[in-house]
Amino acid sequence: MKHGRTAARFVLPLVRFAGLHVLNLGTPIGRKAIPALKAHGAPLIRTRSKDLAAAGVRFVPRVTGVENGLPVLADGSRPETANVIWCTGFRQEFGWMNPALLDDGEMPRQHRGVALDSPGLFFLGQDFMYAAASATLPGECRDARYLAAKIPAPVSYGSALAAP
């Protein structure tokens, strides 16, 4: 994906490398720099919907509930799916969570996306979740690989439900 002028195309790989491999919670400089970066926010880099669709991302209406272990969408449909990625848009919104699971009532208590106080709850794409690049596609890909190894096998809900 191209981002602006030719000069930026040479600088962005360096920024990407630093965001993925230097400024993360696994390095001394990252542990020192990330709190300062959090205070000022991260730069935004445009991601186009058509690029996400080309990568296989399927957009659906908002999830309004859960029925028999499956999400119920705003249009009433109930897609058969094993995984749901809850996208909150351009601001992080955790008002739907129990405040006891949040640090200072704002951000989920987690380590590399694994909730510390709620087994089976995972997060992805938060600013500085593990690295400066955690809220970018390259950072999310790395964080997703880490989380995929931590998520247990899917649970079958069909046999656990009582007959109507």
Q: What percent of the chain has pLDDT over 90?
A: 4
pLDDT confidence of residue 161: 44
Greater pLDDT, 53 or 8: 53
Using pLDDT thresholds of 50, 70 and 90, give the confidence band for residue 154.
low
pLDDT confidence of residue 106: 79
pLDDT confidence of residue 4: 60
Within the chain, where are the H helices?
6-17, 28-40, 49-54, 137-150
Contact yes or no for 92/102 (Cβ under 8 A): no
The DSSP letter of residue 158 is G
d(CA 141, CA 79): 24
Q: Over the stretch 54-106, which tens digit does the pLDDT of each residue have?
A: 877 778 888 888 788 788 899 999 988 776 666 656 667 777 778 888 888 67
Tally of CB atoms within 10 A around 88:
12
pLDDT confidence of residue 160: 44
Greater pLDDT, 146 or 86: 146
Q: Residue 156 pLDDT more than 80? A: no
Question: What's the predicted TM-score (pTM) here?
Answer: 0.51
pLDDT confidence of residue 155: 59
Domain ranges, ordered by start, for the chain: 6-154
Average pLDDT over every residue of 29-47: 69
d(CA 44, CA 73): 29
